[in-house]
Amino acid sequence: MKTKLNLITKRLKDERTKKILIVSHCILNENTRYLGGAFCSGINPDILKELSIKNCGIVQLPCPEQIAWGGVLKKLIWLPVDTKGKLINYLIRLIYPFFIWYTYFIYHRIALKTVRLIEDYLKSDFEVIGIVGIDGSPTCGVSISLNMYKLFEYHSELSIESLDRVDYNNNLYNRCSQNGKGIFIKQLNKLLTKRRINIKLYSLSLQDEKENKSVSLGIED
């Protein structure tokens, strides 16, 4: 079958470059960002321009947070808001370790599907030139992520009446950011390493987007 496919591929050679870039979902669709975290209407024009000249196919990953945290608005992460000192806060605190375990469980399953997708491309003689995450995300951070327990504490102290987008984002990164990979990228990288698949990781910086700086994925040619 492989010999037959090779012959068919040669006979039907087309314009594809057989190069693939895998990107976190919200790079192409900021509508799935956390509330207050979409800094463009859909896709950042700097990123659109950069991707358009890379001469490769773009594979958009599913959003793990949308799947695990209650849909596109990520309802579960907002449950602690305005609960500090209230009974509900202590109840949420009791189940929070389970929420973290559940997040790891779901993310691991998504990472497995992603690895199988990557293996399919590699076995089909495609080149996966990189995986692009989101620095500043608790899920898809590559070198900078958010600490989930600090995020819980921060959200519990928020008052809905005094919520302000600028203050929220500034305090979010000042209080919750940490060095290291987010939960999903960590799971994905671990599975790739186990299978001896070496793919370069790139990232988009949420901080740079927030500060309206020109952003780049830094993808090598």
Query: Does residue 125 lie in a domain region?
Result: yes
Q: What is the structure's pLDDT at 3? A: 83
Closest C-alpha to 26, from 62, 56, 76? 62
Mean pLDDT of the chain: 94
Point out the residues of the chain with pLDDT beneath 70. 1, 221
Q: What is the structure's pLDDT at 59? A: 96
What is the DSSP secondary-structure string of 91-155? HHHHHHHHHHHHHHHHHHHHHHHHHHHHHHHHHTT-EEEEEEEEET-TTT-SSEEE-HHHHHHHH
Query: Does residue 166 lie in a domain region?
Result: yes
Query: Does residue 85 lie in a domain region?
Result: yes
Q: What is the structure's pLDDT at 197? A: 97
Range of the domain at 47: 17-210
Query: Does residue 215 lie in a domain region?
Result: no
Q: What is the structure's pLDDT at 221? A: 67
Query: Does residue 82 lie in a domain region?
Result: yes
For residue 22, which amino acid is it? I
Query: Does residue 5 lie in a domain region?
Result: no
Query: Does residue 23 lie in a domain region?
Result: yes
How far apart CA 82 and CA 161 sit, in angstroms, is: 9
- How many domains is the chain built from? 1
The pLDDT tens digits for 123-167 are: 999 999 999 999 999 999 999 999 999 999 999 999 999 999 999
Query: Does residue 10 lie in a domain region?
Result: no
How far apart CA 188 and CA 219 sit, in angstroms, is: 19
